[in-house]
Amino acid sequence: MFTNNPFAALTDFLPSTFMQVYVVVMILAVIVGTLFDVVHKGSARYFFDNWRKSRTKSKQPIGGGEFVSIAVKTAVVDVLASGEFCNPRRRLAHLLTMYGFVIYVVTTAIMVFYPTPATPALLPQLWWLGGLVALAGGSWFWFFIRVDVAAEGNTPFRVMRADLFILSLLASVTLALIWAFLQVGGSAGAKVFFWLYIIASTVLFGSVPWSKFGHMFFKPAAAFEKRVSQANGTRSNLPAPAEKPEEFGSPVKHASHY
C-alpha cells in the first residue's frame, strides 16, 4: 500500500491526462487567486509604499553583504523555522503542517505526471508520510492550539471564514489518504472518496482570495521588510507578530488562526 502510486490506477476509469490537467489548473488557480488577493486587499501597494518610505528615511545605509545576510536570515529563521511563533507548541504544529503539506503536494504532482506502476517506491512513501504529518500538525492546531479554543474555551467545531484554509487542507489530505487506502483493497467506495478528495482539493486551491492560503507568499516578504527596516534604523509599520507585540511598541490581540 505504501509503495504503490495511487494515481496509477486512475487510468482504469479516467483519461491519463485528467489529473495532469487538474494539477495545472490548480496551480494557475493559486497564482491567479494570490495576485487577486494582493491587489484586492491592497497588500502589494501597502508593502511597496512602506518599503519606499523605509528607504527614504533610512538612517543606516545597508550594504550588499548585509542585504544578502538579511535575506538569508529571513529565509532560514522566518520561513524555514517559522521564527515568528514564540509559542513552541504552535510553532511545532505549524512546522509539521507546513513541511508535511509541502512533501504531500510535491509528491502528488510528481506521481500525477508519472502515473505508472513502476513509480519509485520512495515517492508513495513520502506521499503517505507527508499527508500523515500534515494531518497530525493541522489537527493538533485545530483541536488544541487555536486561541479561541485553548484560551477562550470555545468549541473546536466553531467555524469561521478564516478557518477555510486549514479545514479544506485537512479535508483534502484526509480524503486522499482514505481514497488511497480503499483503492488498494479494491473497495467500491474508493471512487466516491476520490471525487470527494477532488472537491476538497478544489476548495483548498480555488479559495485563495477568501482563505489564508495567500499569506504563505506575503508573510516572507513582510518579514524581510521588517528586518531591513530594523537594520537601517527605521521602524516598520507592518503588523507585529501576534506572539511578540512588545517588541514593536503597542500591544495587539492574539490571532486565533495561522
Q: How confident is the model at residue 249 (pLDDT cuts 50, 70, 90)?
A: very low
Contact 205, 29 (CB under 8 A): yes
Angle between helices 164-184 and 122-140 (to 10 degrees): 140
Beta-carbon neighbour count of residue 71 at 10 Å? Answer: 14
In the chain, where the domains are located: 8-57+86-231
Give the CATH number of domain 8-57+86-231; options: 1.20.1550, 1.10.1740, 1.20.950, 1.10.287.
1.20.950
Contact 20, 134 (CB under 8 A): no
Measured CA to CA, the distance from residue 250 to residue 241 in angstroms comes to 11
Cell of 181: 487506502
Q: How confident is the model at residue 26 (pLDDT cuts 50, 70, 90)?
A: very high
Q: How confident is the model at residue 251 (pLDDT cuts 50, 70, 90)?
A: very low
Least confident range of 97-106, 147-156, 184-193, 225-234: 147-156
Measured CA to CA, the distance from residue 143 to residue 170 in angstroms comes to 12
**pLDDT at residue 30 above 70?**
yes
Measured CA to CA, the distance from residue 42 to residue 51 in angstroms comes to 14
Measured CA to CA, the distance from residue 128 to residue 130 in angstroms comes to 6
3-class SS string, 57-73: CCCCCCCHHHHHHHHHH
Cell of 34: 494570490
